[in-house]
Amino acid sequence: MAVSKETSLSYALSSNAAWAGYKAHQNPSFFPHLASGQSPKILWLGCSDSRCPETTILGLQPGDVFVHRNIANIISPTDINTSAVIEYAVVHLQVGCVLLCGHTCCGGAAAALGDSRVGGVLDTWLTPLKSLRIAHSEELAAIRDDKARIVRIAELNVEAGVEILMANAAIQEAIKERGLEVHGCLFDLDSGRVRDLGFGTSKSGSLPGASKQIVRGNHGMLVFQAGNASMIVR
């Protein structure tokens, strides 16, 4: 539904009131439980794109997913914002799974493939993607379809990000001590499906104690097993 600029806030607040009323009617203890604390099982590192709402995509509920999003889901080891989120989620919240998820039709990926400057700080932020373009120039040039080329650089971006995650000290320690899982995924806007790209802990096989993990939501269970993820709706 298209919403005018003048009414976007009032529409959002009205929609929120309807949602809150429905959730409270459906489960009177939902909000009191939510307010008592959080124990998410997943850390989602994704793109800020409005079409990629992580909890909705995974079929889960508020409280199930700890989230960090930025333009083009770029993981930089020197970005204190990203590092703080990872440390809090892994060390303090003890999440069981880290998902780095890119997506198709990514504007950041498309911009990195273009020859024109975006302008402002965005050019600096997208430098890692520009670097991937240079490093994989022959492969990307051989892909004639523009949409497929954007998907490919998005996959390469996830792979590069997962490599940085796997070198993170907090993540390495959690993998060793309690079987933390790290996965690189891609969300397909055309189908609504999340595809495991096989990067991370699944690349070298499951670790002891981490062969199977279930993330429970009120309406579904997201099951990770042997490098694959599936949704069981209940």
Closest CA to 181 of 159, 160, 165: 165
Q: Which of 106, 133, 152, 185 is catalytic?
A: 106
Q: State yes or no: is 51 an active-site residue.
A: yes
Q: Which of 103, 149, 152, 183 is catalytic?
A: 103
Instruction: Tell me if 212 sits within 8 A of 225, measured CB to CB.
Output: yes
Q: State yes or no: is 47 an active-site residue.
A: yes
Q: State yes or no: is 105 an active-site residue.
A: no
Q: Which of 51, 178, 193, 219 is catalytic?
A: 51
> Across the strands, what pairs with 187?
103, 194
Closest CA to 106 of 64, 48, 163, 61: 48
Instruction: Tell me if 231 sits within 8 A of 223, measured CB to CB.
Output: yes
Q: State yes or no: is 49 an active-site residue.
A: yes
Q: State yes or no: is 106 an active-site residue.
A: yes
Q: Which residues are catalytic?
A: 47, 49, 51, 103, 106
